[in-house]
Amino acid sequence: MVSETHRAIQGVWSIESARVIASLARIVRDVGLAEELAQDALLAALEQWPEQGIPDNPAAWLTAAAKHRAINLLRRGKMLERKHAELGYDLDSQNEPERLLARLQAELDDDVGDDLLRLIFTSCHPVLSTEARVALTLRLLGGLSTDEIARAFLVPESTIAQRIVRAKRTLAEKHVPYEVPRGEELEARLASVLEVIYLIFNEGYSATAGQDCMRPALSEEALRLGRVLAGICPQEPEVHGLVALMELNASRAAARVNAAGEPILLLEQDRGRWDQLLISRGLAALAHAEALDQPPGPYLLQGAITACHARARTPDTTDWARIAALYEQLGALLKSPVVELNRAVAVSMSEGPAAGLALVDALLPEPTLRHYHLLPAARAELLEKLGRFAEARTEFERAALMTQNARQRERLQQRARSCGRG
C-alpha cells in the first residue's frame, strides 16, 4: 500500500537525512541549499517509490538523487561563479564549466572525513547566536521538527522557526567554511556542539512527542558523534564527561519500556537488563575525564550522577546523598530550575518526601517550568508518598495534560487513576 511505502520513506528519511544533508553541504558550501536539495530527493522518493518499489538500499538512493540534483543545479549555471572563486578556475575558457563539474562530481564521491562532524561545527559557528546554533544543528543533524526543538528549549515554536531561517541565511551570507576547526577556535565552539549532541541524544532517549518513548536512531547518532569528538579532543574533560553520560544512560534503554512499549521508571527497572558493555564504556569515559584533573563541568557532573545509578546493584543501594550533592554542584554552575527539580527528587530519596516536596514547591512560581510536565509529575509522586492522595491525583492529571508523548500521557493517567489504591 502507498501509505506503508510512505511510512517506510519517512523511516529511512529520519535516519539518513542528516548524512544526505552533510554530504551535500561539503560540496555546495551552503547548509540551507543542502537541506533544500535533500528535500528534493525526499519528494522524488515519495513520487517514485510507491510505483517502482522501495530500492534495496534506500539510503544510497536518496543520497544519489540529492547529489544528482546538485550536479544539475551546477550544470544550469547556478553556483558556478561561487565555485570558480573557491577553486580558482578561469571561467572564460569554454570548457572550464564542464571541467569544474567533473571535479565537483569527484568531490561528491569522496567520503573522506566525517561530513556529519563538519556539519555540526559549521552549524555551531560563532557568527550565530548560541540559541541559533543549537536549533539549526538539531534541525539538520537530528532531523527534529521545529515543534520538538521548541519543547526542548521550552520556548514558542515560532521562535525556533525564526532562529533556523536566520541561521541559514547568516551562514550563507558570511560564507562560513565547511570544516572542523582546530586550536583555539575548536575550544570556543565546543560548548555549543556538546549541547547540541546531548539534546539530540535526549530526544532519542526520551521522545518529547509521538507514540514511542524512545527514538533509538537519534540516541545512537548522538553517541557516535560524541565518540568521534572524544577521539579528536582527548584532553577535553567535558567531551569525555558527555560521552560517559550518554553511554550510561543508553545502557538502560532495554529496561526502560515493557513489552507493550510503556515506560518503566528508573527504580522499577530490571537492572539485569542494563547493558554492561555500555556501563563499562561509560565508567571508563568518566574515569578519563576525572583523570584530566580539571574543575568539573556540567557534563562531567551529570556523568558522575548517572554513574551512581550504574554502580548500584539495587535501587536501595543508590547513593542518593552523593547524587543530591552533585546536583547542588551542577545547580551552582547552570542556575537551572530543571537541575533544582532533579536535586529535589534526590533530596526526597535521601532525606524523605517532605524535604523534597518543600524544594519542589519552591519551584512552582518558576515561569520556564510552567508547561514542564515533570514538575507536577514529581510533585504528585511526593504527595502520594505523604498520603495526600487527592492532591497527588490532581497533579498526575495535570502532568498528563502537559506531555506531548502518548506513552507518558497514558502512564500518568494510569497513576492518577490508581493513586491511593495500592
Q: Which of 111, 126, 155 is the last residue of a domain?
A: 111
Looking at the chain, the number of H-run helices and the number of E-run strands are: 20, 2
Residue 406 falls inside a structural domain: yes
Q: What angle do CA 242, 135, 167 make, to 5 degrees?
A: 130
The DSSP 8-state label assigned to residue 404 in this structure reads E
pLDDT tens-digit readout, 20-57: 888 888 877 788 888 888 889 989 988 998 888 888 88
Residues 6+ apart with CB under 8 A from 222: 142, 197, 198, 200, 201, 204, 246
Which has the minimum average pLDDT: 31-40, 87-96, 189-198, 321-330? 87-96
Shared domain check, 122 and 100: no
Q: Which of 183, 207, 231 is the last residue of a domain?
A: 207
Residue 98's pLDDT is what?
56
pLDDT tens-digit readout, 60-70: 888 889 888 88
Residue 229 falls inside a structural domain: no
Confidence of residue 96 (pLDDT cuts 50, 70, 90): very low
pTM of the predicted model as reported, rounded to 2 decimal places: 0.72
Residue 358 falls inside a structural domain: yes
Residue 121 falls inside a structural domain: yes
pLDDT tens-digit readout, 402-416: 998 888 899 899 999
Range of the domain at 97: 1-111
Q: What percent of the chain has pLDDT over 70?
A: 87
Residue 189 falls inside a structural domain: yes
Which has the minimum average pLDDT: 132-136, 214-218, 235-239? 214-218
As a whole number, mean pLDDT of residues 75-83 equals: 57
Residue 83, pLDDT > 60, answer no
Number of domains into which the chain is organized: 3
Using CB atoms within 10 A of its CB, is residue 328 exposed (0-12), middle (13-18) or buried (19+)? middle
Mean pLDDT estimate for the chain: 85
Q: What percent of the chain has pLDDT over 90?
A: 44
Residue 29's pLDDT is what?
77
Residue 95's pLDDT is what?
47
Q: What is the C-alpha separation between 118 and 239, in angstroms, rounded?
A: 17
